[in-house]
């Protein structure tokens, strides 16, 4: 499995972000307060100053395009329910059928999402480690999803640790 570390296993491309998408997100996130003008003011949009909040998700309404690796293999539902992703890269996942979320973090680069941006999200296994738990051996799988805009500028990276046992 170490041979697939760093290889992308999934890719999504968003629909173009609209000013309306950003406004609706900001209104929902800041409710019942009024969101900052940089997220919702039509004058900011007209002046090209409208930006999306850091937590804005352009995939919340689906993806315009989703692609795999072309190396996917079939696996049983018990592996899918435990978060296995190795099969997307043609590798049989380990026989661990239970999973826990070991934590999520996001790193923002300072490049904002703006109306008209198209975001590409690419996911890869960032690494594996093992630990011993009360119930036996555990496999910790670190997954990184990097978002870039249409200019290739990195917007953010989301890291998640999946604990399988």
- Indicate whether 87 and 114 sit together in one domain: yes
> What integer pLDDT is reported at residue 47 of this predicted model?
85
Q: How far from 84 is each of 52, 94, 96, 138, CA to CA, in Å?
A: 32, 8, 9, 14
> What integer pLDDT is reported at residue 22 of this predicted model?
96
Kindly give the pairing relationship between strand 136-148 and strand 154-164.
antiparallel
Q: Reply yes or no on whether the pLDDT at 48 is more than 90.
A: no
> What integer pLDDT is reported at residue 46 of this predicted model?
81
Model confidence band, residue 44 (pLDDT cutoffs 50, 70, 90):
confident
- Indicate whether 146 and 109 sit together in one domain: yes
> What integer pLDDT is reported at residue 164 of this predicted model?
95
Q: Which residues share a beta bridge with 162? A: 101, 141
- Indicate whether 100 and 48 sit together in one domain: no
> What integer pLDDT is reported at residue 135 of this predicted model?
86
- Full-model pTM: 0.89
Tell me the pLDDT of the chain averaged across its residues: 94
> What integer pLDDT is reported at residue 27 of this predicted model?
95
- Indicate whether 48 and 73 sit together in one domain: no
Q: Which residue has the higher pLDDT, 14 or 38?
A: 14
Q: Which tens digits make up the pLDDT trace of 10-24?
A: 999 999 999 999 999
- Indicate whether 113 and 160 sit together in one domain: yes
Q: Count of alpha carbons within 13 Å of 152, Cβ hemisphere only?
A: 0
- The number of distinct structural domains making up the chain is 2
Q: Which residues contact 137 (CB under 8 A, 6 or more apart)?
A: 130, 131, 165
Domain range for 22: 18-57
- Indicate whether 107 and 151 sit together in one domain: yes
- Indicate whether 47 and 107 sit together in one domain: no
- Indicate whether 105 and 141 sit together in one domain: yes
- Indicate whether 31 and 87 sit together in one domain: no
- Indicate whether 131 and 51 sit together in one domain: no
Tell me the CATH number at 73.
Answer: 3.10.129
Q: Which tens digits make up the pLDDT trace of 50-60?
A: 999 999 999 99
């Amino acid at each position: 499995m170490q041979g697939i570390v760093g290889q992308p296993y999934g890719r999504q491309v968003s629909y173009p972000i609209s000013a309306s998408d950003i406004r609706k997100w900001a209104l929902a996130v800041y409710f019942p307060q009024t969101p900052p003008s940089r997220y919702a003011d039509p004058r900011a949009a007209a002046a090209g100053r409208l930006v999306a909040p850091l937590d804005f998700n352009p995939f919340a309404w689906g993806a315009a395009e989703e692609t795999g690796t072309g190396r996917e293999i079939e696996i049983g539902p018990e592996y899918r329910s435990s978060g296995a992703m190795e099969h997307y890269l043609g590798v049989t996942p380990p026989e661990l059928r239970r999973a826990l979320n070991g934590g999520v973090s996001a790193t923002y680069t300072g490049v904002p999402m703006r109306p008209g941006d198209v975001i590409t999200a690419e996911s890869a296994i960032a690494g594996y480690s093992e630990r011993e738990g009360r119930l036996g051996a555990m496999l910790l799988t670190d997954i990184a999803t990097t978002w870039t805009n249409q200019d290739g500028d990195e917007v953010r990276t989301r890291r998640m640790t999946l604990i399988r046992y």
